[in-house]
Structure 1
Amino acid sequence: MKRLALLLALATTGCGLHPLYEGGASGAVATSLSRVEVAPIAGKAGYLVSNALRDRLPGRSGEPALYRLEVKLDDSITGLGVKRDDTVTRERRTLRARYQLVDASSGEVVLDATAGSDAGVDVVNSEYATIAAENTALENLSQIIADQIVTRIAVYQRRAAATAK
């Protein structure tokens, strides 16, 4: 059993995998993420995504921002299920984000990427219930988009830190 554990430990050290947040809160990735400033994002979806991003990024340490995160959103609702009388019974809410990580000192775009997700919404007889479901879908999509953006920025920061070594 001990030989198997030793063999597995040796096999995983050579695989090239490293923890993303190596070094914890004082590591290179966490330190870089704490110096990202989120630029204002227009609209209700922008408000939700902006708050979700700020929740996921480590707290600013009082140091000036090294990067500015600029996000443009595309929020749409498309009718899917249509009855014979042309009433919609199902909708798809789609939220797409194009984001750029900009070096605050030089203005150079160091990361340009997209994130997106969609959610299904049942259209029911109650207009209030349908609007509430659409809003809940938007809130959930905002969280998903923020997760994707922060993960991608963390991967970029990890690669940049590894290259700098």
Structure 2
Amino acid sequence: MHRYNDYELLYLISEQNEIALNIMYQKYIPLIKARIAAFRIKEHNREDFFQEGLFMLFRAITTYRTDSRKTFNKYFDMILQRHFIQLLRRESKHFYNVVLTDKIDYLKEEDAKEESYDLDTLLSLCKFSPFEQKVLELRLRNHSIKEISEELGCRVQQVYDANDRIKRKLKAVKKSLDKKLQI
């Protein structure tokens, strides 16, 4: 296997190379796990923080500027640590103990000019963890967050986190499809 440096991988990713993206994810998974361990994340939150770490890696890939003074590794580590701190602060303030409506509203039409996609198409293009799939299935059946947490035997916060990741994944796929249509 060839060893690529981060800049080569970032260039290949900017050229829509899926293999480079997978290599980048595999390369930084150990850092995400190390940060989860360093922050002493509770066992029941580790999967959520791992998923958040993957999102932060994607954010770092899309926002990193090669002309900056920081290496990609340091840039990603900084984003990851700040995000984990933010999540832990929210958790300590019981940020997730709010009541939501039972309606699922993942795909709001913000602009009448935008292309609309049916939910099945978007779902087929997304990759969800097994937990996210269970949450999505129950949300599509109009279960409340609290009902889902009780049914799955997990904390309400975990369901909120999964719900948020699902929304972001769907929006990212929709944005990607919109971008491809413009080309």
Q: Scaled by the length of structure 1, what TM-score is found?
A: 0.32
Larger Rg: 1
The structure with the largest helix share of the pair is 2
